[in-house]
Amino acid sequence: MNLAIRDVRFNLGRFLLTAVGLGLLLMIVMGTGGIYKGIEEDAVLLIDELDADLWIVQGDTRGPFAELSRLPANVEDRARTVPGVADARRFVTHTVQREHQGRSVRISIVGLSWPDDRGEWLPIVSGRTIAQGHYEMVADITLGLGVGEDVTLGKDTYRVVGITKNMISSGGDGLAFMSIADSQAIQFDAAGEATRLERAARRGRAENDEITRSQPGMLERANMPANKNPAFGSPMVSAILVNLKSGVDIEIVRSVMSGWADVTVYSGEQQRQLLLQGPVDRARRQIGLFRVLLVAISAIIMSLILYTMTLDKIHDIALLKLMGAKDRVILGLVLQEAFLLGGIAYVLAYFIGKRLFPFFPRRVIVTPDMLVWLAFAVMVICIVGSALGIRKAMSVEPNEVLS
């Protein structure tokens, strides 16, 4: 006869209600750990997917994910000339927030180096990759856009031709992929009046310049669009991604590029660590601390629950001792109930979380090692939490059965 099972059956309703409450608490602990992991995975997801050996960014900056990075697009041509470089491509990223069909949509735009990069590496779940250099985009499913839907960004309308899954920026915004030309058109878009005023100011400065007085024909260039005016450079990009030939020492190539005074060069792993230690570090530490506090709270609550359950059995424990029951029988009663409560709560936490986590705003990633860690934590909590109950049970005198 198992005393713990008999006691649970006698108080089944209260025991199951307690297990459900503790299970919900453990689900929050599991979810907090999953959010912690999700923030980390989302932060480095794009870096891992792009799989570049070297990142060339604006000089004295930490790259486009940590801060603003702007460098001339012709750095791509410069990088291709370095011995050992297999490929170099431009990279642009920025975030916009627009109204679409009556709702606010926040999009993290990534420019693909068309036509070399058409987005074949993207995890497409519906539709296709971009097939032309303008007015097509691939959007993540979290943006709530469908294949064939038109989205107005800037002065142009872009058609969604493909849907990805789990392509999230470090800030939790869904990613949208399009050609670099389109991404730059959106990034540098300005209202018509702002463009007119800028050209008028440009012309005013040119009229006061000596060279335009001697060559009046040059004054007309002030009215030209910036992208058609030879006096202005091409739009800037966020970074240049470099892939090396097989067997080439990455440090040798990096040392050559680091000699360029206008850029800073990072390896893919360095860019990854800069991101983890920069923009997402504070959020990761805060959630990690919150997770530790939840585990401590769970241990305290379980201790109180087991202590209360032991107090309810004081008369029964005294009777068992009066009948000659050994201490290990009493110890087993309390511990078995603790492990049974923790086991049921753990199973409930897993299955409830599996149903609810997909509806969370941020991605929740629960890995097998996280489940093992939580199971171990629950076991420790059961042992530590039952300590008060065990101490009380061991101190019960047989003659208390008469009180």
Name the 3-class secondary structure at 121.
coil
Expressed as residue numbers, the domain containing 356 is 3-43+281-402
156 within domain boundaries: no
Whole-number pLDDT of residue 115: 82
Residue type, 225: P
Name the 3-class secondary structure at 159.
strand
168 within domain boundaries: no
72 within domain boundaries: no
CA distance 310 to 391: 10
Contacts of 395 (CB under 8 A, 6+ apart): none
Name the 3-class secondary structure at 161.
strand
**pLDDT tens for residues 86-120?**
999 989 888 888 888 888 889 999 998 888 888 88
246 within domain boundaries: no
Q: Which residues pair with 89 in a beta bridge?
A: 241
**pLDDT tens for residues 216-231?**
666 566 566 555 555 5
Whole-number pLDDT of residue 1: 43
129 within domain boundaries: no
Q: For residue 358, say if its preceding peptide bond is cis, omega within 30 degrees of 0.
A: no
Residue type, 42: D
Whole-number pLDDT of residue 392: 67
DSSP letters, 174-225, are EEEEEEHHHHHHHHT---HHHHHHHHHHHHHHHHTSHHHHH-GGGGGGGGS-
171 within domain boundaries: no
CA distance 285 to 39: 11
Q: Are 319 and 396 in contact (CB under 8 A)?
A: no
For the chain, list residues with pLDDT below 50.
Answer: 1
Q: For residue 115, say if its preceding peptide bond is cis, omega within 30 degrees of 0.
A: yes
Q: Are 4 and 336 in contact (CB under 8 A)?
A: yes
Buried/exposed 209-240: b ≥16 CB within 10 Å, e otherwise? eeebeeeeeeeebbeeeeeeeeeeeebbbbbb
174 within domain boundaries: no
Q: Using the structure block, give the residue that is written with the tokens 């899954």.
A: 165
Q: Are 131 and 91 in contact (CB under 8 A)?
A: no
Whole-number pLDDT of residue 397: 67
268 within domain boundaries: no
Question: How many folded domains does the chain comprise?
Answer: 1
Question: Could you tell me the CA-to-CA distances from 104 to 107, 144, 161, 187, 247 in Å, in that order?
Answer: 10, 11, 21, 18, 48
Show the tokens assigned to 354: 């599996």
pTM, 2 dp: 0.74
